[in-house]
């Protein structure tokens, strides 16, 4: 089973970095598997720790893929790292094993601290749709445009029926990103 999370890491200059990652759990360890090249991977190998943020603010997912990474953070408790203010819960991770690979290494972490901050309020279809659309945006270079359009058309139903303000904002950032990508491909000048 894969859970979609926001992983915060520390850049070489000490500043925070965040990116969405689907993580797996096995034998009590958390597995993060970044495709190379990845800033998160470099940071994880250097600092050997991370924070796993579990948030229902899908703007953080969409924002990470559309150049909006300035979300409120506070210091982690046990590891050197950063916790998203909007996290419903977070887990602090220490690297214990690296399964190296030229394409997609697997990094295994022990959970050294865990904290709940706010209750889970139930499933929301628009949030799920934004996560799916974020995955599409992270693969714009690889996917045929017709597939993206067909999936967006379906995902839009859940957004239109169930979104709140945060979900609409995230959704619109993603649509804008797709439009900019296509305009750049057509050779149009984006101001
Ligand atoms: C929901 C979601 C899950 C993702 N999971 C992964 C993942 O498991 N591995 C990966 O390499 N990229 C994943 N991505 C894409 C990365 O977030 C994206 O490429 C990001 O820029 C990571 O690169 P960085 O570490 O250089 O910032 C995911 C994106 C989304 C929206």
- The band of 191, judged by pLDDT with boundaries at 50, 70 and 90, is low
Taking the centre of ligand 1 as the mean of its atom positions, its distance from the CA of residue 30, in whole angstroms, is: 16
Asked if 65 and 135 touch (Cβ cutoff 8 Å), the reply is: no
- The band of 190, judged by pLDDT with boundaries at 50, 70 and 90, is low
Strand locations in 33-186 (E):
49-55, 73-75, 82-84, 87-99, 106-116
Residue appearing with tokens 């520390």:
10
Give pLDDT, residue 188.
79
Question: Does residue 135's CB lie within 6 angstroms of at least one atom of ligand 1?
Answer: yes
Give pLDDT, residue 68.
96
Residue appearing with tokens 């979300």:
71
Asked if 101 and 115 touch (Cβ cutoff 8 Å), the reply is: no
Mean pLDDT of 169-174: 98
Say what percent of the chain tops pLDDT 90: 96
Distance between CA atoms of residues 103 and 175, nearest Å: 29
pLDDT tens-digit series, residues 2-33: 999 999 999 999 999 999 999 999 999 999 99
Asked if 93 and 52 touch (Cβ cutoff 8 Å), the reply is: yes
Structure tokens, 120: 């889970």
pLDDT tens-digit series, residues 47-83: 999 999 999 999 999 999 999 999 999 999 999 999 9
Class of domain 3-116 as given by CATH: mainly beta
Structure tokens, 166: 């945060």
Distance between CA atoms of residues 36 and 34, nearest Å: 6
- Partners of residue 27 on adjacent β-strands: none
Domain ranges of the chain: 3-116, 125-185
Question: Does residue 4's CB lie within 6 angstroms of at least one atom of ligand 1?
Answer: yes
Q: Is 74 exposed, middle or buried (0-12, 13-18, 19+ CB in 10 A)?
A: exposed
pLDDT of 189 strictly over 70: no
**Pocket probe mutation, ligand 1, options 5, 19, 38, 151, max atoms within 8 Å of Cβ:** 19
- Partners of residue 82 on adjacent β-strands: 75
- The full length of the chain comes to 191
State the pTM of this model: 0.96
């Amino acid at each position: 089973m894969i859970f979609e999370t926001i992983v915060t890491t520390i850049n070489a200059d000490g500043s925070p970095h965040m990116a969405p990652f689907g993580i797996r759990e096995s034998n009590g360890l958390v597995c993060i598997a970044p495709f190379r090249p990845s800033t998160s991977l470099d940071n994880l190998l250097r600092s050997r720790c991370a924070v796993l943020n579990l948030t229902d603010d899908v703007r953080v997912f969409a924002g990470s893929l559309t150049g909006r990474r300035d979300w409120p953070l506070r210091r982690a408790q046990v590891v050197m790292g950063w916790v998203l203010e909007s996290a419903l819960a977070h887990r602090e991770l220490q690297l214990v094993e690296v399964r190296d690979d030229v394409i997609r290494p697997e990094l295994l972490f022990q959970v050294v601290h865990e904290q709940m901050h706010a209750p889970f309020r139930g499933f929301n279809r628009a949030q799920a749709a934004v996560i799916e659309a974020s995955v599409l945006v992270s693969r714009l270079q690889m996917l045929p445009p017709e597939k993206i359009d067909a999936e967006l058309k379906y995902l839009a139903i859940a957004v239109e029926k169930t979104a709140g303000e945060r979900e609409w904002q995230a959704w619109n950032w993603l649509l804008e990103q797709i439009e900019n990508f296509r305009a750049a491909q057509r050779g149009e000048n984006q101001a």
